[in-house]
Structure 1
Amino acid sequence: MADTPLVRTPATLRPDHPLAGYADVVDLIRREISLGRLLPGDKLPAERKLAERLGVARETLRQAFRVLEGSGQIQIVRGNAGGAIIQDNSVAPAVALHELRQRRTALLSLIEFRRELESVAARLSATRRTEEDLAEMRLAQETLRSVSNKDEFRRADTVFHLTVARAAGNQHLAAAIEDSRASMFQPVDLADFEVIKESSHSQHQFVLDLIAEGDGEAASAAMRRHIDSSRDEILRLIDE
């Protein structure tokens, strides 16, 4: 696959804070994987280019790569056409389900946090969004409709939610929403893909239409219902 830019939303070629060492690089790449912005098969930029982009020494980047390769999240392919390739590092469903059950209370608390944050973002977005924001939301919707697996779903879903967050015009709110979403990708991997794809698309569309109409209170309520629906799907997974 072609080089995938290591980006955060909105798109940038640099991290949003200085990276102090290899552990910061590891955390950043793992975060991008969790958010679905780096998918299995994606190739990171060449070592020199990526080190410059992240503002770290090449040896620091190599240390980070060794950690990521050791945890199975990247594979280093040698040669001119090689590089660091993102790997499919999915946890076995039975193990993942056990972990979710063990942290049920913390997970529900995180969903509650997301519900409040993202409903505020939807309300603010209805009055602050630009036509460019709406275009990005619509593109995310088109992508979500056409995705064929859960990795692609995670990326399109993340783009939609973080575009709504960015359109709210509050960088602290957007950062908090991104942080909370970065911790929540695992349940999606256990859910019925076709069900979550269809329900997410329809619920996103309702939120999008209300944001486009400028109805902040209704958009906020629609986002709350969407997060509640996601919560109910996760509870069914945990409790069945």
Structure 2
Amino acid sequence: MAEIDLERLAAGYAHRRGGEAARARAARTAKRAGLGPGAVAVDVGGGRGDHAAVFAAMGARAVVVDRSPAMAGAARRGEVAALVGDGRQLPLADGAADLLYFHVSLQYGGWEQMLGEAARVLRPGGLLAAWTFAPGHFRQSLLARWFPSIAPLDEARFPPPDLVEARLWALGMREVHQIAETESVSRCAGDWEAAVRGGFVSTLQLLPPGELESGLARFRKEHRDPGEVLQYRLWYRGVLGWKPGREGGGVPGGSR
């Protein structure tokens, strides 16, 4: 499978919204980790730093690690620090963080190694949280309706949550479990088409020649008014696990 051009994807992020639901998801995860002043939270593949900003607002030292210099540059603002680095070899010391966070970033290659690195960087009692898409999402998504290659491409790219859970257990994590969340999205048809053309989702880079234009032509035929409001859903699955070693393996004050 072809490599994703991360700098091209960074430009496509101009078409992404900040995502109140995604920020709320980050806040709930941080609460489970017992995050607060003095804690360290690392968002691996954290893009523009939207989730890291949530962690910083809770008083934690928030760090984004992203392979894209453009993404890291965008994230480096306010109380958020950012490093250019690969999740398969995190530029952080052993036991450096209380929360290792992945939000739809395991699909960029070597996810098993990425989780192993996350476990290394976690402090005893720290939380590893990996958010990805639920298995049924790919064939129900709005993108899959118009671009038939999207579903099989994404099914090949994204690790199934059950395998992520098994990997966390194998790494010695405790209280490993999954959380399901559904996000409802409203977006104007013209705005959605512009986002697709802008490459706001990485898998769009992998479509066969001609599929993007043919899919958009069919989309415009059905949605002629660019101001029409589209309603669609995103199905997420979070896999969470705690690193043992501090007072039985939990984070004091954390909410499970």
- Structure with higher helix content: 1
**Do Structure 1 and Structure 2 share a fold, with TM-score over 0.5?**
no
- Structure with higher strand content: 2
Using structure 1 for the length normalisation, give the TM-score.
Answer: 0.30
Using structure 2 for the length normalisation, give the TM-score.
Answer: 0.29
